[in-house]
Amino acid sequence: MQIRNIAIIAHVDHGKTTLVDNIIRSSKVFRDNQEAGELIMDSNDLEKERGITIFSKNMSVVYKDVKINVIDTPGHADFGGEVERVLKMADGVILLVDAFEGPMPQTRFVLQKALQLNLHPIVVINKVDKPNCRPDEVHDAVFELFFNLDATEEQLNFPTYYGSGKNGWFNDSLTPTDNILPLMDGILKHVPEPKIQEGTLQMQITSLDYSSFLGRIAIGKVARGIIKENQPFSLVQADGSIKKQRIRELYVFEGMGKRKVTEVYPGDLCAVVGVEGFNIGDTIADFENPEALPIISVDEPTMSMLFSINNSPFFGKDGKFVTSRHLRDRLMKETEKNLALRVKDTDSADSFLVYGRGILHLGVLIETMRREGYELTVGQPQVLVKEIDGHKNEPYESLVVDVPEEFASKVIDLVTRRKGELHVMETKGEMQHLEFEIPSRGLIGLRTNMLTATAGEAVMAHRFLDYKPWKGPIPGRNNGVMLAKEAGSTTAYSLDKLQDRGFFFVDPGEDVYAGMIIGENNKPGDLIVNPNEGKKLTNHRASGSDAATSIAPKTLLTLEECMEYIQQDECIEVTPNFIRMRKVILDEHERNRIAKSMKSEA
């Protein structure tokens, strides 16, 4: 059977996973009476809630007697490590672009990787049914992007398809059809068969799966030779060391699942059970004459956070896994499959430094652990600083903001205050398109401020550029916070009386402890308040005769918003049911003593 290997790449929210749904439906993977639902490939709970793809996934369909292996990739820059690896398994890519937004920063990032690997591109302009879309302008912008990325003559001659994933049609013209078969024919026509070289077995491990029954499963494309069940092989590792092992079981991708086979021919993707101690990028090679494939390089982490055990007064009330051993084992397990993550021990046995690609990357890890029953404390995200030629350098990102024209000046003001520089300003329909270069530090906390300033209209996207010289201090949060004075349960009476001081992150009847952040102060500087005081009752006053208290509902912050909100002396307590912000040092006198000693040293 002939094979085609194709990866689907795009910016966030341009419709990759919806396109995969259409491919699945068009090739009748599900029976007609079987309920498949939407966004079939986003199987993880977090992916379904956020509507984004976090982990790349494989599936295959058979169309006109040709097996098409489809790889769905994440669109967020924070998961760039996933994209780079899995593109190694493909021979062609479908570049999906929104008919209104056009190419975005992440489109550029993933396309550059695909062109460097010499993959054959097919451009699909999606969402042409949207009002004010501009497919012809977007097509020209995509061509310009290819040209800027030094595409070859052959790559510049890419085929283009138009359509609407939501309405289930794609065609090589703007005429709507009632299916996506023109695109399926295009895949067979424009994506080459895998190149098969002569020689002994070679397969690079580009991805991994985990099964509690089978253990770690290595996934990759067989580059040459035939791989068979029970075959002895050499595992060539990144440092050049070679381990002799034997293959236990082999699986190929079929539909949404896997099918067990006895041998896999070159060019096909397969999952191998029985490889021990492997890392992504290692090569499964011939037993007698092992030859390694070039190592996969993954972008370095740009941000770190301190993960510690939960040491608040509410320790152990909520989670199942609370000790430092639990925390360490879970983080080490994560590094096995999350390539862009690094974990380092610190001087304290209870704390670990975790390095990642950005706030979303680390936020997804914390959220996953919280749902598994872990309790932990995480500190403020810090960018990684490098010493280059004796100068202090920090990571910079390219930031793109699309915003209605009347808010453009506010956005420029916000970004420039955080040491960003405006490089491009152009009009796209009714929107203003702004491109900045900004230190990664400046992005922390920017999204919330920007959405407030633009009435929620701004669309932000950013990607890592390079390390450049340190830009100096960046202003943080302007206002102080309100801290609980002592442990207890908040009362409506107290919160009502404190409302003119700021807004709250807690409702009446919630348990708090001393040093916990319960709200934001209207002014700079922290304010210690007592939210637990009840109303004093006398013979003359009945409890309900006063004017009823009217308290504004609490401000709910998501985990990522908390990570962007906290300052250096604050941290977040994360448990399965609660996310609380607090001071690192809970005792007020201890905080004052340390602040005084730091002043005297300075």
Kindly list the distances between the CA atom of residue 398 and the CA atoms of 2, 65, 112, 408, 423, in Å, as whole numbers in the listed order.
41, 44, 15, 17, 10
CB 84 within 8 A of CB 296: yes
CB 52 within 8 A of CB 74: yes
Separation CA 298–CA 238 (nearest Å)? 13
Q: C-alpha 245: how far from its chain's center?
A: 35
Longest dimension (CA), the chain: 98
Kindly report the CA angle at 90 between 88 and 92, in degrees rounded to 5?
A: 130
**DSSP helix/strand/coil, 411:** helix
Residue list for the binding site for GTP: 13-18, 126-129
CB 24 within 8 A of CB 167: no
Separation CA 579–CA 562 (nearest Å)? 9
CA torsion 213-215-220-222 (nearest 10°) is -80
Separation CA 305–CA 152 (nearest Å)? 41
Separation CA 580–CA 574 (nearest Å)? 7
Q: Which two tokens stand for residue 139?
A: 């097509």
Residue list for the binding site: 13-18, 126-129
Kindly list the distances between the CA atom of residue 452 and the CA atoms of 270, 448, 456, in Å, as whole numbers in the listed order.
48, 6, 6
Separation CA 491–CA 442 (nearest Å)? 38
The total of other beta-carbon atoms located within 10 Å of residue 113's CB is: 19
Query: Is the sign of the CA dihedral 442, 444, 449, 450 positive or negative?
Result: positive
Q: Which one, of 13, 207, 16, lies nearest residue 24 by Cα? A: 16
Q: Which two tokens stand for residue 435?
A: 């491109």
Buried b or exposed e, range 562-600, using 16+ CB within 10 angstroms: bbbbbeeebbbbbbeeebbbbbbbbeeeebeeeeeeeee
Looking at this protein, which amino acid is placed at residue 208?
A: L
By residue count, the chain amounts to 602
